[in-house]
Every structure is written in C-alpha cells, then in structure tokens.
Amino acid sequence: MTGAPPEREPAPDLLALAQELRAVGEMGVVLTAGAEDRERYRRVLGIAEILATTEGRGPVRPPADVAEQWFHVSPLMSADCAAFDASDRVLLVRREDNGLWALPGGVVEVGERPADAAVREAFEEVGLRAEAVALIGQYDSRSTGTDTPFHVVHLVYACRVTDASALRVSAETDDFGWFSRDRVPRLSPGHEVRVRDAFDRHEGKLTRQSFC
C-alpha cells in the first residue's frame, strides 16, 4: 500500500509578486541617476507587468511613464517599533541623518503588513528581534511636527522583545540605548508624542489607540 502523495506547495501569488516588483522598479527609475541602471529598472517594470498578465488579472500599472502611473496619490505610511526591556525602558536609536533620537521605524514596503514593517525596521536599524503585539496609535506627520516634506501616516506598534542579545548600529543609526521616561534624550521631530504614548500604553495609562 502506498502512502498519501506529498502535499504540494501553494502556488505563489503572482500578482502580489508583480506589485512588489513594480514598487522596486518605480523607486529605481525615480531615484537612480545612471541611465543604464534606470533602464534596468524599467525592465523590472516590464517583468512585473508580464507576471500580472500571467496571473490573468491585467497589468499592475498603466502603460505610461512612472510619473503618470498613479491612479490616486496617497500619503506615505511608516511603522515604528516601541519595545521595552525588563526595567520598563524604551529602546531608542540615534538617527545618523540628524543626530536625534527616535523609535526604530521606517516606510512600509509594497506587499508588507505594517506590523511586519515595524519589526523589520527594528532589526535592520539596531538588530532587535521582536514581535508586534498591539497598535498603539496612528499619527499624522502634519499635526505631530514630523520634519518631512511629505505627508506621512506613522503607525506605532507595541512590540515584545524576543532577542536583544545582538544589538548594533547600522547605516541609518549611530547609537542606541534603553531609556526610562525621565531620561529620554532629545527626540527627532514628531517622535515626542509617539514616545509619550508608547510609555503610556506600556504603563497601562493608554487603554485605546491614539489618533493624532
């Protein structure tokens, strides 16, 4: 008697892959200075359209230049990780670009859940391994003083530390540390309210999500 056939791996979602490739290609076309490299990113855009067509759901972008492609322009989305140690201190990183302190975080990538982005950014910026457990709040860059020319929606997640044994700096950070509420250093603009709410949530003072 033969055993049951092995289960097949689920087929990849080609449209999701195409959307990720589209985002990579567009960012490359916009940000890359060299003509040859821009052409390579345009080839990535072409591959993304082929993948989407193979999936049978049409192209992932209109056949136009990158600057004309968007159906609707939306704010950027970023995700921050608010992680505390056993002494109730929050983890902050010092940004390499302005020398000020902030929660680890960054822009959410296409195809990525915001909570996963917060965890990924914490690992990339400072080597922290963590798990997002709750949304602390949503913060509009225009009303919270973020120093950016763009309209950004910041999502802050309470994260449980799973491994903090290999913390280190990165290309985006030049220092890090655990800080109690009364020892928080000078924060990057926009992080004051986010760090305050992170402490309030950790201490049980903030029982519902914050919207600013």
**Same domain, yes or no: 63 and 134:** no
Task: Give me 82's structure tokens.
Answer: 């608010």
**Same domain, yes or no: 63 and 83:** no
pLDDT by 10s per residue, the chain, length 212: 455 555 555 556 666 777 777 777 777 776 777 877 878 878 877 777 777 676 555 555 544 444 445 455 678 899 999 999 999 999 999 999 999 999 999 999 888 999 999 999 999 999 999 999 999 999 999 999 998 888 999 999 999 999 999 999 999 999 999 999 999 999 999 999 999 999 999 999 999 999 98
Q: Domain boundary residue among 33, 48, 68?
A: 68
Domain assignment present for residue 204? The answer is yes
Domain assignment present for residue 2? The answer is no
At residue 8, the 3 state secondary structure works out as coil
Domains: count for the chain: 2
**Same domain, yes or no: 64 and 80:** no
pLDDT at residue 19, rounded to an integer: 72
**Same domain, yes or no: 100 and 59:** no
- 107: closest CA among 97, 98, 99, 116? 116
Domain assignment present for residue 21? The answer is yes
Domain with residue 97: its CATH number is: 3.90.79.10
Domain assignment present for residue 9? The answer is no
**Same domain, yes or no: 58 and 122:** no
**Same domain, yes or no: 134 and 41:** no
Domain assignment present for residue 1? The answer is no
**Same domain, yes or no: 56 and 154:** no
pLDDT at residue 20, rounded to an integer: 73
pLDDT at residue 24, rounded to an integer: 76
Asked if residue 136 lies in contact with residue 158, where contact means CB atoms within 8 angstroms, the answer is yes
Asked if residue 79 lies in contact with residue 105, where contact means CB atoms within 8 angstroms, the answer is yes
Give, in order, the Cα–Cα distances in Å from 144 to each of 57, 72, 96, 170, 212: 40, 24, 21, 26, 7
Domain assignment present for residue 4? The answer is no
Ranges assigned E (strand) in the chain = 76-83, 90-95, 101-102, 105-107, 129-140, 152-163, 173-179, 210-211
Domain assignment present for residue 128? The answer is yes
Name the residue type at position 72: H
In sequence order, the 6+-apart residues with CB closer than 8 A to the CB of 40 are: 28
d(CA 57, CA 161): 40
Domain assignment present for residue 195? The answer is yes
Domain range holding 117?
76-211
**Same domain, yes or no: 207 and 158:** yes
Q: Domain boundary residue among 68, 86, 111?
A: 68
DSSP-derived secondary structure letter, 180 = -
**Same domain, yes or no: 33 and 89:** no
d(CA 40, CA 48): 13
For the chain, helix, strand, coil in percent to 5 are 35, 25, 40
**Same domain, yes or no: 24 and 46:** yes
**Same domain, yes or no: 99 and 54:** no
**Same domain, yes or no: 132 and 177:** yes
Q: Domain boundary residue among 46, 68, 90?
A: 68
